[in-house]
Amino acid sequence: MTQLHGAGQRHVQTGEVGIMGIGAARADFENFVSCDRATSATALVGGVLSNFAAGAVVRYPDPDDPTRGVMRVEPQATNHVRSNDGTGAAVGRLDAGGALPTGWTAPFGLPSSAVEVVQIGEDVGLPYIRIRLQGVTTSSSVFIYTEGVGAVAAEDGQLWAQSVYMRLISGSLANISAIRVRPEARASGGTGHSGYAGSDVAIGADWQRCAQGAALADANGAGEISYLVPTIQIASTSGAAIDVTLDIGLPQMELDAVTSPIRTSGAMATRAADVVTTPAPVNGGVFSVVVDFRFSAVQVAGRSARVFDFGGDEGRSLRLQHNGGLNTGDLLLVLHDAPSEGGAVLGVTLGVITAGLWQRAVVVVDGADLRVRLSGEAEVSRSDFALPRSGLHTLALGASHTGTVALVGPLEYRAITVYDRSLSSAEITELVEGAS
């Protein structure tokens, strides 16, 4: 990763790995970044699901390159699966004293004598239920419902995401043609709609988080959607003999996009949003911002997500945002007034965001002159820029400079640097083309 040293680097952030990295071991990390989150949060750290206390910044080694650190910010999310940690479960066959977690419904497609809760445990921080399915199917698929009909209220036009950790423990996938995560929409009274089945999941011995989104619409005339049922589908044929044992961990059903796991123990639970800020005192009207970031998914149409928001006392702010509306998938730099002053006054399209790909953006402001560049794109310049010269003291990440969260799904950062000087075009080129 190319980095610049020398005069004008007013704010250097986080790093045991070079001066720009977000290192997990930097002792003075909280001197640079603060997080206002009212609840705890979780993240996989070294393959273990770890907890972060309320108000703690979520950061961890980059799974793709452990020498680099990553900071994650997320919006608020509610897990509508009421018992995903095993609460209410009991070991045994369902016809002989065994029980699934509270709120789960006995699988469809097998008799209760063919469904056994083998174990209730926890592994690498993941609570799980071990279920054996052994018997002759009575339908073309076996469905495991982690909530009952009517428990998850939903409506047409909403976007939902179902996720669950799974792994294969023993048995055979013979006579099983596919395993899928399948949110099912229902009208009031339980009338069925088509399920939103994703691609077949290749279950193995290692934990895998499987997910599927559902954009709700009455596509088959079954009536207004009222509920969602989070479902795991095990496709087979009616009358087939199956014998397979699966671990099912932390099933989750949430609005919009898949976020980090939210543990529940008999009732829905909500993880508060990350409101992350970092000081950036550059009141002279001349500054540069370099940020490395990636989105886990392209944002929802009609919604935007802030990579950063730099606000001024006069109500005008500079926003680097992923626009899921007018330019779906584009990254925009927007100079924005307070709503009472008419909204956006300048918008510059930088390029297309690719989900899961690290990208670097460089923004340079020098009075009315603006130069910006996104990795993989050409430099864009404007000379009609006018950001207030006062009040530029805080950089908000994933939120507005007033503290309103502006994200649909998770957003990760591994480098943020603010300079109180104008970077040259040569420096911009070096930073962008040297990014990796």
Is 367 contained in some domain? yes
Instruction: Kindly state whether residues 290 and 422 are assigned to the same domain.
Output: yes
Instruction: Kindly state whether residues 282 and 237 are assigned to the same domain.
Output: no
Domain boundary among 235, 266, 297: 266
Is 290 contained in some domain? yes
Task: Look at residue 21 in the predicted model and tell me its pLDDT.
Answer: 44
Instruction: Kindly state whether residues 409 and 316 are assigned to the same domain.
Output: yes
Is 108 contained in some domain? yes
Instruction: Kindly state whether residues 151 and 183 are assigned to the same domain.
Output: yes
Is 333 contained in some domain? yes
Task: Look at residue 17 in the predicted model and tell me its pLDDT.
Answer: 27
* Contact in structure between 32 and 15 (CB atoms under 8 Å): no
Query: What is the layout of strands, in order, in the sheet containing 394-397?
Result: 34-35, 276-279, 394-397, 304-311, 317-323, 330-336, 344-352
Which amino acid, 405? V
Instruction: Kindly state whether residues 258 and 281 are assigned to the same domain.
Output: no
Phi and psi angles of residue 144, each rounded to the nearest 5 degrees, phi first: -100, 120
Instruction: Kindly state whether residues 122 and 198 are assigned to the same domain.
Output: yes
Residue-level pLDDT, tens digit, the chain, 436 residues: 344 433 334 333 333 222 334 543 444 555 678 899 999 999 999 899 999 999 999 988 888 888 888 899 999 999 999 999 999 999 999 999 999 999 999 889 999 999 999 999 999 999 999 999 999 999 999 999 999 888 899 988 888 999 999 999 999 998 999 999 999 888 876 666 666 767 789 899 999 999 998 888 776 666 688 889 999 999 999 999 999 999 999 999 999 889 999 999 999 999 999 989 887 767 677 888 899 999 887 656 667 788 888 876 556 778 888 876 444 457 777 776 554 444 556 677 777 777 788 989 999 988 888 888 988 888 888 887 777 666 677 888 888 877 788 888 899 998 888 888 888 989 999 988 876 6
Q: Which residues contact 339 (CB under 8 A, 6 or more apart)?
A: none
Is 49 contained in some domain? yes
* Contact in structure between 230 and 183 (CB atoms under 8 Å): yes
Query: Which residues are registered as beta bridge partners of 83?
Result: 265
Is 159 contained in some domain? yes
Q: Which residue has the tokens 């591994």?
A: 414
- Quote the domain boundaries for residue 99: 92-266
CATH number at residue 164: 2.60.120.260
Instruction: Kindly state whether residues 113 and 239 are assigned to the same domain.
Output: yes
Is 7 contained in some domain? no
* Coil, strand or helix at 435: coil
Rounded CA separation 123/87 (Å)? 16
Total domain count for the chain? 2
Rounded CA separation 430/248 (Å)? 47
Q: Which two tokens stand for residue 379?
A: 């430099």
Rounded CA separation 24/206 (Å)? 26
What is the model's pTM?
0.89
Instruction: Kindly state whether residues 111 and 155 are assigned to the same domain.
Output: yes
Rounded CA separation 234/232 (Å)? 7
Instruction: Kindly state whether residues 417 and 303 are assigned to the same domain.
Output: yes
Instruction: For 86-158, list the strands marked E by DSSP.
Output: 92-93, 105-108, 115-123, 126-136, 141-145, 152-153
How far, rounded to the nearest angstrom, does the alpha carbon of residue 56 sit from its chain's CA centroid? 18
Instruction: Kindly state whether residues 183 and 252 are assigned to the same domain.
Output: yes
